[in-house]
Amino acid sequence: MIVLGIETTCDETAAAVVERFEDGRGKILSNIILSQVSEHAAFGGVVPEIAARAHVEALDAIIKRAMAEAGRSIDDLDGIAAAAGPGLIGGVIVGLTTAKAIAMVKHKPLIAINHLEAHALTARLTDATPFPYCLFLASGGHTQVVAVLGIGNYIRLGTTMDDAIGEAFDKTAKLLGLGYPGGPHVEKEAARGNATRFALPRPMQGRKDADFSLSGLKTALRLEAEKIAPLSDQDVADLCASFQQAVVDVVLDRLRAGLRMFRARYGAPSALVAAGGVAANQAIRKVLHRLAFEVGSVLVAPPLELCTDNGAMIAWAGAERLALGLVDTLEVAPRARWPLDEIAAAKGRLMTKTSAYK
């Protein structure tokens, strides 16, 4: 089956076409992503109103490009998938409304996708990873440890109590006068810094649960910076290195606890899967490889363009659901908040193309 995926939950306008074969393998036919980073850089973060307007202006052209690159027409599609949340509600509305319009006019099944579920299932597109596996999702808006047991069957083992890891990197970069998005800039500065110069805390370390907390670490960094202001270039590098090392230590401890919980409940995971832009950080990726080795598993980390927000992951999640007959009516609503573990596998959503669209 061939599915169009639309992603507009934050500051990337994206569309992709993915093919799913009968044996469960997948193939990306196109994957077009338009980043809005330059439009938000001056503000040090994403401005929802600017993001929504940019989606409106760009989405039609992005979809057209995705279809052209895939060499397919809308009539060739078996379904239309769109991220219905969680995310910035203005952007979510743009993408979901567009998908509804295409589905209605062309009499195609509509699949409303949870953005986090799309991240969770990307490893099955890239590596055909079998269930069950342990997902570490770390991005600007989310930090979670999730047991992925099947389509629509997700158990959250740990989450952040405040800031997401990516958000903490962005705020650190802004505090130190670095660029946006913050993650790559902090990592670059950390490479030439002294990670032992500042004694920053490791929040939640040693707890049996797998939850995270980053706000205390962020505050400690600010206090250290204020003590030695004005900051030299070396001060900035040392602060970045100390911050990044603290995050790496927190990830090691918290994810180790999550993997213990996973094994106790579900046995050995088929893989440790990393998703989200934070997985591109080489220091964090190194510790993820270490953790996977510790539990006798492997690390599956999709390429960066599939770790950050993209249309291919939405299309793939749509194809996985469509293969089970899981489609949505045109009344499905966009959601700013939509916890991954609230997704139903089938109950209340199983419909046929005929009953839904004729």
Give the pLDDT confidence of 4-17 residue by residue, as tens digits: 999 999 889 999 99
Judge whether 2-122+306-357 and 130-305 match in fold. yes
Amino acid at 168: A
Q: Residues of the chain with pLDDT > 90: what percent? A: 83
What CATH class is the domain 2-122+306-357? Answer: alpha beta
pLDDT of 44: 72
In this prediction, residue 24 has a pLDDT band, given cuts at 50, 70 and 90, of very high
pLDDT at position 337 over 70: yes
Note the pLDDT tens digit of each residue in 256-301: 999 999 999 999 999 999 998 888 899 999 999 999 999 899 999 9
Report the alpha-carbon distance of residue 317 to residue 339 in Å, rounded.
16
pLDDT of 358: 28
pLDDT at position 216 over 60: yes
User: Which long-range contacts does 295-299 make (Cβ < 8 Å, 24+ apart)?
Assistant: 295/259, 295/263, 295/268, 295/269, 296/268, 297/268, 297/269, 297/270, 297/271, 297/272, 298/271, 298/272, 299/271, 299/272, 299/273, 299/274
Find, among 255, 347, 19, 307, the residue nearest to 139 by Cα: 307
The more confident residue out of 169 and 346 is 169
- Number of neighbours of residue 287 by Cβ within 10 angstroms: 18
Architecture of domain 130-305: 2-Layer Sandwich (3.30)
How many residues in total does the chain contain? 358
Report the alpha-carbon distance of residue 242 to residue 247 in Å, rounded.
9
Per-domain residue ranges of the chain: 2-122+306-357, 130-305
